[in-house]
Chain A
Amino acid sequence: NRVKRPQLWWLGVPFVLFLGALPIVNRVEPRIGGMPFLFVWFAGATLVTPLAVWMTWRGDHR
């Protein structure tokens, strides 16, 4: 009788962004605004993570 919560899959997003994509994004070019690509990607992933966790929250509070 475990309650199904498919929204929990959203919590995997930061793992995919930070780790799954690593072999592809571990590069300096293309630089964006002068910043190396790896740094830009990680900054983006940091900002996307709250959205992913919020998707779970939204699913939990429907």
Chain B
Amino acid sequence: MSGTAVATTVFAVFMVATIALGLLAVRGRGGGGGGLAEWSVGGRSLGTVFIWVLMAGEGYTSFSYLGAAGWGYDYGAPVMYVVAYMACGYAVGYVVGPLLWSYARRHGLVGITDMVAHRYRRPWLGAAVAVLATLFLLPYIQLQITGMGVVVSTVTYGAVSLEWAYFVAFAVTTAFVVVSGLRGSAWVSVLKDVLVIGTLAFLAVYVPLHYFGGYGELFDRLAAERADWLTLPGHGAGADGRGKLGTAWFASTTVLNALTVVIFPTTVAGYLGARDGDILRRNAVLLPAYNVLLFVPMLLGMAALFVVPGLTGADSNLALFKLVVDSLPAWAVGVIGVAAALSSIVPMAVFMLVIGAMWGRSVLSLLPRWSAGERQKTASQVVVVVAGSVALVLTYTAPNTLVRLSLVSYEGMAQLVPMLLLGLVWRRLTAAGAVSGLVAGVGLVCALVFTGHDPVWGVNAGMVALVLNLAVALAVSLLGPPEADDGRPDEEVLARDPLPGEEPIPLVSGSG
């Protein structure tokens, strides 16, 4: 049996097992029935372990596995913003997670679009946020398709071309998400994390020893030959400062992403699936330590500089896998391929579920024909397939590095922070103010990103746009006409961080 056949067989067996595990997870729960809430937020009854794996699973995706290696290869030290924003993001999530969870629990909400619609009492605003969030999540879905495409193509030693591999990635994930829902994703996430952590720990030891004789020798060589990879602004900083990933970029990106990750629809899906708010606090304590292994792909990306030199542009996504194929037997390539593929499938499934839930609750519910139970779920699943297809088309027409795709996604989503987080704690923020800020922020971030001005003046373009967004929102709210009194007390409109042991009293019983 040839190497290609061995690796492909190992890979295919695990992929079938993944789909089977997803199906097994939803058996006994009406076999895929159970409506939108069971499909999208696991019936809101997931315990510590499942919420842990779903939220921890957000850390180890193909973005961190392949993308971090790619940026380590391209730039070096700037890629460490990933561990910085995750650590800071969990600290922010300690407060924001229980806050959003209790707000959703009190009012029977299933996502950020619901929260916006409830806070401002304008269903159309929830629908608009759903459309906007979907647009900003597309680069992230494209990221996962790209990551898994790289894996499929590499594991088959090129027998499946990259173009076909992207399609296979899209088809497997879409099938998985439609049949399994959030509960299935949580089950597969367990398998994924075991494999990813196992393979990363193995590669962390094996690669430096195999190629360099140890970490000391690897860093000696980096310091001697590639010293600019080892500190900010990393490799490739232009003399004019454009494209420079220096300390200002690092700090602004870390703060922006730490604020944004807590309102990222997938993170919020994890929050809302929890049984109580304290589970989220406990996770915020433990999860930052879980991310320490993310240093491994970054270091391996830099090691790849000496083993597979000359990768440019989006090809740097291949850095880690080229190392693996170059140094390991076929069966091991297959196993590592499975780990990397699952690190694409699970987050992509959660992203697509969230898009389906957002549309089901906030857009389709406004259309009488599509707002009823099972039909709403079916329509949501159609939206999921369409969103995946658009991301697939983007993969072919606008390929990019995995990290760049993530950055664009975060810079866009960040513009929802004032409307959602500030709106939930400050009654004076008017709908007109929040919308004006959002329009200004999204307009500026699109203008900067699409004209290649990111970073701008050495600062993350999303942060510049967020500052404008906030300034406009505050100015319009404070100087413009106040909201007409809708008779709702603050307890009904605003969110609060419930103290440990304090259960919110649901004001409504249904949850969709």
Residues of chain A with a CB closer than 8 A to B232's CB = 22, 26, 38
Assembly CA distance A8 to B218 (angstroms): 40
| A47-B88 contact, Cβ under 8 Å, with A11-B94, A19-B255, A28-B227 | no
Residues of chain B with a CB closer than 8 A to A27's CB = 231
The answer to whether B216 has its CB under 8 Å from any CB of chain A is yes
The range of chain B's interface size is: 35 or more
Please tell me if the beta carbons of A36 and B289 are within 8 angstroms of each other in the complex: no
Residues of chain B with a CB closer than 8 A to A38's CB = 77, 80, 230-232
The answer to whether B312 has its CB under 8 Å from any CB of chain A is no
Please tell me if the beta carbons of A53 and B94 are within 8 angstroms of each other in the complex: yes
Please tell me if the beta carbons of A34 and B216 are within 8 angstroms of each other in the complex: yes
| A52-B289 contact, Cβ under 8 Å, with A19-B254, A39-B295 | no
Please tell me if the beta carbons of B215 and A34 are within 8 angstroms of each other in the complex: yes
Please tell me if the beta carbons of A42 and B247 are within 8 angstroms of each other in the complex: no
| A33-B215 contact, Cβ under 8 Å, with A28-B223, A60-B499 | yes
Residues of chain A with a CB closer than 8 A to B219's CB = 31, 34-36
The answer to whether B83 has its CB under 8 Å from any CB of chain A is yes
Within the complex, what minimum Cβ distance (angstroms) separates B46 from chain A? 21
Assembly CA distance A53 to B282 (angstroms): 9
B327-346 contact mask (Cβ, 8 Å, vs A): 1 or 0: 00000000000000000000
Interface centre among B87, B214, B219 (most CB of A within 10 A): B87
Within the complex, what minimum Cβ distance (angstroms) separates B201 from chain A? 15
Within the complex, what minimum Cβ distance (angstroms) separates A50 from chain B? 5
Please tell me if the beta carbons of A36 and B231 are within 8 angstroms of each other in the complex: yes
Within the complex, what minimum Cβ distance (angstroms) separates A29 from chain B? 9
**CB nearest to A3 among chain B residues:** B499
Please tell me if the beta carbons of A60 and B500 are within 8 angstroms of each other in the complex: yes
**CB nearest to B83 among chain A residues:** A46
Residues of chain A with a CB closer than 8 A to B500's CB = 60-61
Please tell me if the beta carbons of B288 and A50 are within 8 angstroms of each other in the complex: yes
Please tell me if the beta carbons of B288 and A14 are within 8 angstroms of each other in the complex: yes
| A47-B289 contact, Cβ under 8 Å, with A26-B247, A42-B84 | yes
Please tell me if the beta carbons of A46 and B250 are within 8 angstroms of each other in the complex: no
Within the complex, what minimum Cβ distance (angstroms) separates B267 from chain A? 16
Assembly CA distance A23 to B232 (angstroms): 10
Interface of chain B residues 196 through 251 with chain A (CB within 8 A): 214-220, 222-223, 227, 230-232, 247, 250-251
Assembly CA distance A62 to B28 (angstroms): 41
Within the complex, what minimum Cβ distance (angstroms) separates A28 from chain B? 5
B427-452 contact mask (Cβ, 8 Å, vs A): 1 or 0: 00000000000000000000000000
The answer to whether B286 has its CB under 8 Å from any CB of chain A is yes
Residues of chain B with a CB closer than 8 A to A22's CB = 232, 247, 250-251
Interface centre among A3, A39, A54 (most CB of B within 10 A): A39
Assembly CA distance A15 to B255 (angstroms): 8
Assembly CA distance A60 to B220 (angstroms): 46
Residues of chain B with a CB closer than 8 A to A42's CB = 80, 83-84, 295
B86-112 contact mask (Cβ, 8 Å, vs A): 1 or 0: 011011101100000000000000000
Please tell me if the beta carbons of B247 and A53 are within 8 angstroms of each other in the complex: no
Please tell me if the beta carbons of B220 and A53 are within 8 angstroms of each other in the complex: no
Offer 30 A-B interface pairs, CB within 8 angstroms, sorted by A: A11-B94, A11-B95, A12-B91, A14-B87, A15-B91, A15-B258, A18-B87, A18-B88, A19-B88, A22-B232, A22-B250, A26-B232, A28-B231, A31-B219, A34-B215, A34-B219, A36-B223, A39-B230, A42-B84, A46-B83, A46-B292, A49-B87, A50-B286, A50-B287, A50-B289, A53-B90, A54-B285, A56-B94, A57-B281, A60-B500
Among all A-B residue pairs, the 10 with the closest Cβ atoms:
A34-B216, A49-B288, A18-B84, A11-B91, A49-B87, A36-B230, A14-B87, A34-B219, A50-B289, A19-B251
Inter-chain pairs besides A15-B91, A49-B91, A53-B284, 7 sampled, C-beta below 8 Å: A15-B258, A19-B84, A19-B250, A23-B247, A39-B77, A46-B87, A53-B94
Question: Residues of A with Cβ closer than 8 Å to B?
Answer: 3, 8, 11-15, 18-19, 22-23, 26-28, 31, 33-36, 38-39, 42-43, 45-47, 49-50, 52-54, 56-57, 60-61
